[in-house]
Amino acid sequence: MKTGITALSRPLTRAFTLTFLFLSFATTSFATFTLDSTFASVGRLTITFPDSVAGYSSRGLRIFVQPGGRILAAGSFTRGTPDGQLPGVIVAGLLSGGTVDSSYANVPEWQSNGFTSLADSLMYSDGRVLRLTNFFNVVGSSTVRAARLNADGTTDSAFSSNASIGAQGGFGTAKPSQILVRPDGKILVLIRENGEFFLYRLNIDGTRDTAFGVNGVVGIVFNKISSPSEAGLKMLALNDGKILIAGNVPPVNFPAGSEEFFLARLSESGNWDKTFGRVGFVKMAFGPGLTGRIQDAVLQPDGKVILCGSVSNSDMDTWMMRFRSNGRVDSLFGSAGVVVNDFAPGGSDAAAALAVSPDGKIRIAGSIGTPENFLVARFSSSGVLEDNISFPFTPGQYALAYDVTLQPDGKLLVIGETKNPDTATGSVFAIARLTE
């Protein structure tokens, strides 16, 4: 056990092990952010799964709260088998206090003939979960798979299994970006395959919606911006059926001394919506002399869109920008539509995820410092910084946040990964809950 940590570790079920972390350091905070002592006693915990391989990465990528208060943590981990190490995915259920919920299925998924990783996941309002995975088999090709879980974590047999999303031809190298559900219940899946982007639309039961494109698929040709980087590509389903995509423009298209990103809007049928920006898209630089990266996008109830990520010049800082529904920059947000905060002068800080509360206030989660700590900040609806807090899980070891969500009671849940405190290398799920 490492110096400075008193850890209470116990296997709570066969599903996985939680570690409640008692740390002898003070967090740097402003205003009202506080780690919630009713969650795992100290406001944060790590999760280690059975048969997980020491020295390999496990990371929590998405976190949800079901209507009854159960917390769901979705991510990827590496399992040791007689045949070697097999990456897999899991959605784990926790009770409100942070202990394992044994009534939730907590069943990991992996394949004996390849590697499975979580690309994205979402939760329906009734507590069911959609999971988007990438399967890379031993012969070198990859396919995209979608699955739906019932509210108790069991597989939803009414959802078409793995047959709805596949290679566009032969030896595929498919890489899934995102999955989301439209207001009418139909499902959109954005993938990249062999250097091209494809948008799939599925019916509620997971079968292809053949009324969309060709056999449920539309190819997206970004001819005005070349092919965007798959990293940071985000998609939003608008209430009128239109589709908004935000992403990073690859370096070959950057003007000297700057870096660009784009917003593009598609019609319900998957064609460019030429009423948005210029012929369906908006392209702009992060700022003079700045390079940057988009990590998340959120649609506000009023139709405005907030992007978050990071920008770099002499150091890396958190970045947000807000757009009106017509693609124009919202000049009432921050300074001329942009909010940049340097939480670590001379160092690095970055936003990875966004959450907007009903009152319009904005929370970001990300990382700060070297080695990285969790970073959480709150802003007013106009982009004014109100509160922020940063903390590690193990002093001197990295912790990266990937997702954030608000509970109905206003508490904030953040999930990511942190260095495995019991091994020289590797990582484990890291979850924290904060009050405001």
pLDDT at 362 over 80: yes
φ, ψ of residue 415 to 5 degrees: the values are: -130, 150
In a domain, 376, yes or no: yes
Do the beta carbons of residue 51 and residue 79 sit within 8 Å?
A: yes
Residue closest to 299 by CA, chosen among 251, 248, 252, 360: 360
Q: How many domains does the chain have?
A: 1
In a domain, 432, yes or no: no
pTM check: above 0.85 = yes
Of the pLDDT bands very low, low, confident and very high (cuts 50, 70, 90), residue 55 is: low
CATH number of the domain residue 286 falls in = 2.115.10.20
Mean pLDDT of 25-29: 44
In a domain, 240, yes or no: yes
In a domain, 119, yes or no: no
Tell me the pLDDT tens digit for each residue of 259-278.
788 899 999 999 999 999 87
pLDDT, position 17: 62
pLDDT, position 422: 76
Range of the domain at 305: 226-391
Task: Between 155 and 225, name the one with better pLDDT.
Answer: 155
The C-alpha atoms of residue 375 and residue 44 are separated, in whole angstroms, by: 13
Q: What percent of the chain has pLDDT over 90?
A: 60
Tell me the pLDDT tens digit for each residue of 226-272.
556 555 689 999 989 999 999 887 665 444 434 788 899 999 999 99
pLDDT, position 165: 76
In a domain, 318, yes or no: yes
pLDDT, position 50: 67
Tell me the pLDDT tens digit for each residue of 59-115.
999 999 999 999 999 999 887 666 677 788 999 999 999 999 999 998 787 776 668
pLDDT, position 161: 64
In a domain, 306, yes or no: yes
pLDDT, position 134: 86
In a domain, 379, yes or no: yes
In a domain, 382, yes or no: yes
Residue closest to 393 by CA, chosen among 10, 18, 46: 46
Q: What percent of the chain has pLDDT over 70?
A: 81
The structure tokens 């590690």 sit at 392
